[in-house]
Structure formats: C-alpha cells, structure tokens
Chain A
C-alpha cells in the first residue's frame, strides 16, 4: 500500500522549543490521526482530526488539517525530553489506513 509522507524525517531540538511535523497524503480522507512510538514500544494514539475539522488541540499538541493541500501538521509546544519518540500520521480513507513513514523527534535536555 502507498505510504504517506512525513517531513522532516528527523528533528532535533532543545527542551522548551516547539516541534512541528508535517504529513502529506494522497487521497481524500475520512480522518487523520497522529500516533507516537517510543523506542521498543507500540504506537500510542495522540489525536484524531476529522476531514471537516481544520484545527484541534489536546494539551501541548495542536493539529491542523488542510484538505485542499492534502496535508496535516502536528505542533508540540514547550517540548520536553520525554517527547523524544517517533511520530506517525495515519490517514483513513474509506476503511483503509495509510501510515506515514514517521518523524523521529529528539528533544535534548
């Protein structure tokens, strides 16, 4: 199956800075989700944004969705060392999930 694309592939920042990750997809979607994967662990759901929504917040997370550009972004504000992980976007289109290739985020204390 086609993979979505995430940008950047790797991001390294200092604690306290904001981290922005972008995701592009290829087909019309029902919703888009973001997941986090810590090293050696399974994926953990962070946030889901539906195709009729443009922005959503959850704690330090802010997700935007631009269906005209087929893209989404995940912003983590005031990052912490514990935010170090891989982040995946997952687009859902008529029952088919497509995973992005992931962004590896490293937050230095």
Chain B
C-alpha cells in the first residue's frame, strides 16, 4: 500500500542508451513531480504535472521527457543518457500544487557508465 512507488530502484546503463523510470501514486493527488538529487544531496525540481498539464520545466535538457498516461502516473523518459545524468531521481506528489506537503517515492539511483 505504498503511497508513491517508483521503479526501478537501481538502474545501471551505458552512455547513449534510452531509459524510463515509472512512478505511480495511490493518494488521489492532483500534482506529481520529478526531482533530481545530486551527489551533494541538492534536490532540484525537474517537472511537475497537474491534471495532465506540464506546469514547470526547470531548464531540464529536452532529452528528459515526462509522460503522464493518467493522474496517478508520471513516468520519466530519458534519451541518449550522459555521464552527468547519474543521480538519484525522486518522484513525488501533492494534493495541491506546491503549497502543501509532498509525498516522495523511495528514489531511483541511476548510474550511467
């Protein structure tokens, strides 16, 4: 009964590959997010989706594309992976955009070799 679940937990891949990370929330929330946490633990928002509409895209390369088949899912697709993409990616959701508390998934550790 995990509230926000993302898969896979670990992803090891070669440079140039295309990969996807899936995220699902069963909280009935309207807004979902993707965050990137670097090696220094800084968290940076990448995308948020509210009712299937992208409302934030913070200078993220267009190799990254969020896809939301429905309100409960927000997947992250990455094309042509680069070494610098190695990080932990977190999915999150909230009932209301931004002003209320976020519920985070457990993270996907991406390692690009």
Q: A residues near B, CB below 8 A?
A: 1, 3, 30-31, 33, 35, 40-45, 48, 86, 88, 90, 92, 95-97, 99, 101-102
B107 touches A41 (CB 8 A): yes
A1 touches B106 (CB 8 A): no
Would you give the 0/1 interface string for B94-113, flagging 1 where the beta carbon is closer than 8 Å to chain A?
00011111111111000000
Enumerate chain B residues within 8 angstroms of A97, measured Cβ to Cβ: 45, 98, 102
Known: A41-B106, A95-B97. A101 touches B45 (CB 8 A): no
Closest 10 CB pairs of A and B: A42-B104, A45-B101, A99-B43, A43-B104, A42-B106, A95-B98, A102-B41, A42-B105, A42-B107, A41-B106
Among A3, A48, A99, A102, the residue within 8 A (CB) of B101 is A48
Enumerate chain B residues within 8 angstroms of A35, measured Cβ to Cβ: 102, 104
Enumerate chain B residues within 8 angstroms of A44, measured Cβ to Cβ: 104
Known: A30-B99, A95-B99. A43 touches B90 (CB 8 A): yes
Enumerate chain A residues within 8 angstroms of B107, measured Cβ to Cβ: 40-42
Q: List 8 A-B contacts (CB under 8 A).
A: A1-B44, A41-B107, A43-B43, A43-B92, A92-B99, A95-B97, A97-B45, A97-B102
For residue B58, CB closer than 8 A to chain A, the reply is: yes
B58 touches A45 (CB 8 A): no
Enumerate chain B residues within 8 angstroms of A31, measured Cβ to Cβ: 99
Enumerate chain B residues within 8 angstroms of A102, measured Cβ to Cβ: 41
| Complex Cα spacing A42 to B97, Å | 19
A1 touches B58 (CB 8 A): yes
* Shortest distance from the beta carbon of A87 to any chain B beta carbon, whole Å: 11
| Complex Cα spacing A43 to B92, Å | 9
Enumerate chain A residues within 8 angstroms of B90, measured Cβ to Cβ: 42-43
Would you give the 0/1 interface string for B74-106, flagging 1 where the beta carbon is closer than 8 Å to chain A?
000000000000000010100001111111111
* Shortest distance from the beta carbon of B108 to any chain A beta carbon, whole Å: 10
Q: Which has the most chain A C-beta neighbours within 10 Å: B43, B101, B102, B106?
A: B43
A86 touches B102 (CB 8 A): no
